[in-house]
Chain A
Amino acid sequence: MQPLVRTAGISKSYPSGGTTVRAVSNVSLAIEHGEFVAIRGRSGSGKSTLMNLLGLLDRPDCGEYVLNDREVAKLSEDRRAAIRSHDIGFIFQLPALLPRATALENVELPLVYAGISPSKRRRAAKDALERVGLADRSHHWPNQLSGGEQQRVVIARATVNDPALILADEPTGSLDSATSNEILSLFETLHRNGHTIIVVTHATEVADRARRQITLHDGRIIKDAAASDKNLLPNGIVLDSSR
């Protein structure tokens, strides 16, 4: 079976103050079905750009990207939008909900654009909310929900269409540590249920939950390690894991 995500030498440059910045440079990676991967790096390392590329929000300047057995690097904007609505679930940093739609309507949104009938998508959205433990908050507005609840609604939205790939960008960015833990536990549950998850973060406690960590620096992968030997650098030096 082909890996779910496979990129070969993708790069992306942005014009910035007269010069061009190479945000992602010649990145090749493969992510299998059911993996839970963290993409780490300091701000400016290119991890957000890489996530935008993987999530088909952006198109690489060069390189290949095969998602779910399909070459997607050169698709038109509308084709990419269609793939986003069917195959990808996004979990953004808060606020990531439409303020003028209820929790249920927010969860329904991907199904609306995927052209699912109203009764079907209502049922699917209710199920998704129930899975994140918010069945009783269906008709609340985002501003009536706590930060943790809002993020759980976002997760329900990202999983409502049973996507092949879930992409999360700093999912605990604006949450306190207790709430962060709840959310991360939810990620682990999703992982156990077979979802493929890529989390982009600069926070160690988030990355540590993943089974594989990819570290970016200046747009290049400098480290790609499985969780079991996450304290081991490629050159064999053992890091202090207690900090």
Chain B
Amino acid sequence: MSALESLRIAMRALRVNKLRSILTVLGIVVGVGAVVCMVSVGAGAQAEVSEKIRTLGANLLLVLPGAKNSGGARLESGTQPTLTEEDAASIRRELVDVQVAAPLLSRSMPLVATNRNWVTVVAGINADYLVAREWQIASGRSFTSDEITSGTKVAIVGSVIVEELFNGRAGVGETFRIGSVPFTVIGVLDRKGLGAAGRSQDDVVFIPLSAAKSRVLGAVRGTTREALDFISIKVSDASAMPEIERELEALLRQRHRIRGDAPSDFRIENPADVLFARGAAVRLLGSLLIAVAAVSLVVGGISIMNIMLVSVTERTREIGLRMAVGASRRDIRWQFLIEALILALMGGLVGAISGAVASVTIALKAGWPILISPWAIILACGFAAFIGISFGLYPAHRAARFDPIVALRFE
């Protein structure tokens, strides 16, 4: 008998017991759904981490000012403005594997164009910062070294600024005010999308650090005109990162005259590590879901076996009749095996669809990134089929072992 014939017989049998078939495959549905959902969320998180690391710039280290000690209570990071442009310059000079060490000083400021205004982060930088972040200029140009040293009132803006302040006009050549100081746009940045903190990286205005200090930001800070928000360091070789971190620590402690085991007044961060840690958290959640899926699939398999055993007993007389009219043991075994396989595959299919729907719902409601992979669906359905066959084997074998005479007498 052909496989197609067995398939037809199995479909007929399953249709007769619709509700029973549906209940039987629930375990498989949940298991496969969980696998598809988990893989989608995991792959999405992985893709997001890679994308963020990419937009961050490869091999990046950040040096941040440390927390101020105020009567024993440590205040938040950056309360102690200890980093200077000199620190940045010396890092660049002293450490061999450091490609650039870019200082940055930023503050949220009101912007005003002819008839629009906007509040955003204004950051004083030099051209090195764009190198460290691997950030390209989409139109216009970067700062010249002359503009950096003399503090010219020019700005490079992110794409969000072009939309919000210049209403989508070209941007380059426009003038606007930061607070009350007029600036001219000389460049527009490439779009980078959402950053690690979930904020648009394109909502930013860059101006020369000297201009920021002398004309826009420095005056407000008052006390220490030299202080920086952080220094971005691009290391030429990823494998040198841990060593650079140690050298950096030593260099800055020396420059800041910190002795012995006194705490550093700065902090070194590897932003990629933070992202990887987040990815790892999502992966952990994924492994939990895998455990749920594994349990569900096994329970699903057992319920398929259970229902198949019931079905074999119920249809003893049918099996006897089929054998009498010429069904071989193999025909009978195939009939029940295919029935179990179809049950499992239907469960797998429904599970894959539910998993995909659940993934999309998670993406929409929780804002998690997801990536539905066809391989996950194929793999999950394949596993469901494997479950169906392995748990359908025993009932099918039992049906095939029936003695036709006994089976025919069965009422």
Q: A98-B318, A101-B12 are in contact. Are A115 and B323 (CB under 8 A)?
A: no
**B283 near A: Cβ within 8 Å?**
no
**A47 near B: Cβ within 8 Å?**
no
- Binary contact readout B122-147 vs A (1 if CB under 8 angstroms, 0 otherwise): 00000000000000000000000000
B13 and A81 contact, CB distance less than 8 A: no
**A22 near B: Cβ within 8 Å?**
no
Closest beta carbon of chain B to A205's beta carbon, Å:
25
Chain A residues with CB below 8 A from B317, complex form? 95
A84 and B326 contact, CB distance less than 8 A: yes
CA distance A240 to B311 in the complex (A): 52
Residue from A55, A81, A101 whose CB has the most chain B CB atoms within 10 Å:
A81
Which stretch from B95-103, B328-336, B344-352 is at the chain A interface? B328-336
Partner of B322, one of A52, A82, A86, A109: A109
- Interface positions, chain A 89-104, Cβ under 8 Å from B, are 90, 92, 95-101
B321 and A113 contact, CB distance less than 8 A: no
Closest beta carbon of chain A to B6's beta carbon, Å:
10
Place the interface of chain B in its size category: 20 to 34
**A85 near B: Cβ within 8 Å?**
yes
A81 and B328 contact, CB distance less than 8 A: yes
Chain B residues with CB below 8 A from A170, complex form? none
Chain B residues with CB below 8 A from A82, complex form? 326, 328
CA distance A109 to B408 in the complex (A): 16
Chain A residues with CB below 8 A from B16, complex form? 100
B405 and A81 contact, CB distance less than 8 A: no
- Interface positions, chain B 1-23, Cβ under 8 Å from A, are 1-2, 5, 12-13, 16
Place the interface of chain A in its size category: 20 to 34
- Interface positions, chain B 166-206, Cβ under 8 Å from A, are none
B405 and A58 contact, CB distance less than 8 A: yes
CA distance A98 to B13 in the complex (A): 11
B331 and A113 contact, CB distance less than 8 A: yes
Output the nearest chain A residue to B401 by Cβ-Cβ distance. Answer: A77
A90 and B325 contact, CB distance less than 8 A: yes
**B151 near A: Cβ within 8 Å?**
no
Residue from A52, A110, A112, A157 whose CB has the most chain B CB atoms within 10 Å:
A112
Chain B residues with CB below 8 A from A97, complex form? 321
**B240 near A: Cβ within 8 Å?**
no
**B382 near A: Cβ within 8 Å?**
no
**A114 near B: Cβ within 8 Å?**
yes
A92 and B324 contact, CB distance less than 8 A: yes
**B327 near A: Cβ within 8 Å?**
yes
Partner of A113, one of B318, B327, B408: B327
**B404 near A: Cβ within 8 Å?**
yes
CA distance A147 to B383 in the complex (A): 47
Chain A residues with CB below 8 A from B2, complex form? 115
**A78 near B: Cβ within 8 Å?**
yes
Partner of A96, one of B321, B331, B405: B321
B408 and A92 contact, CB distance less than 8 A: yes
**A57 near B: Cβ within 8 Å?**
yes
B324 and A113 contact, CB distance less than 8 A: no
Partner of A55, one of B318, B324, B327, B328: B324
CA distance A82 to B330 in the complex (A): 11
Output the nearest chain B residue to A58 by Cβ-Cβ distance. Answer: B405
CA distance A100 to B327 in the complex (A): 17
B321 and A81 contact, CB distance less than 8 A: no
A115 and B324 contact, CB distance less than 8 A: no
Partner of A110, one of B325, B329, B408: B325
Chain B residues with CB below 8 A from A157, complex form? 325
CA distance A98 to B1 in the complex (A): 18
- Binary contact readout A129-161 vs B (1 if CB under 8 angstroms, 0 otherwise): 000000000000000000000000000010000
Output the nearest chain B residue to A157 by Cβ-Cβ distance. Answer: B325
Output the nearest chain B residue to A101 by Cβ-Cβ distance. Answer: B12
Chain B residues with CB below 8 A from A96, complex form? 321
Closest beta carbon of chain B to A33's beta carbon, Å:
21
CA distance A55 to B318 in the complex (A): 18
CA distance A78 to B328 in the complex (A): 5
A113 and B322 contact, CB distance less than 8 A: yes
B13 and A77 contact, CB distance less than 8 A: no
Partner of B325, one of A78, A99, A109, A115: A109
Closest beta carbon of chain B to A168's beta carbon, Å:
12
B1 and A90 contact, CB distance less than 8 A: no
Output the nearest chain A residue to B6 by Cβ-Cβ distance. Answer: A112
Closest beta carbon of chain B to A68's beta carbon, Å:
15
Chain A residues with CB below 8 A from B323, complex form? 57, 81, 84
Output the nearest chain A residue to B325 by Cβ-Cβ distance. Answer: A110
A78 and B329 contact, CB distance less than 8 A: yes
Partner of B327, one of A52, A81, A99, A101: A81
20 contacts between A and B (CB under 8 A): A52-B405, A57-B324, A78-B329, A78-B330, A81-B326, A81-B327, A81-B328, A81-B329, A82-B326, A84-B323, A84-B325, A84-B326, A85-B326, A90-B325, A92-B324, A96-B321, A110-B326, A113-B1, A113-B326, A157-B325
Excluding A55-B324, A81-B327, 8 further A-B contacts by CB distance (< 8 Å) are A57-B323, A57-B405, A78-B328, A81-B323, A86-B326, A92-B321, A95-B317, A115-B2
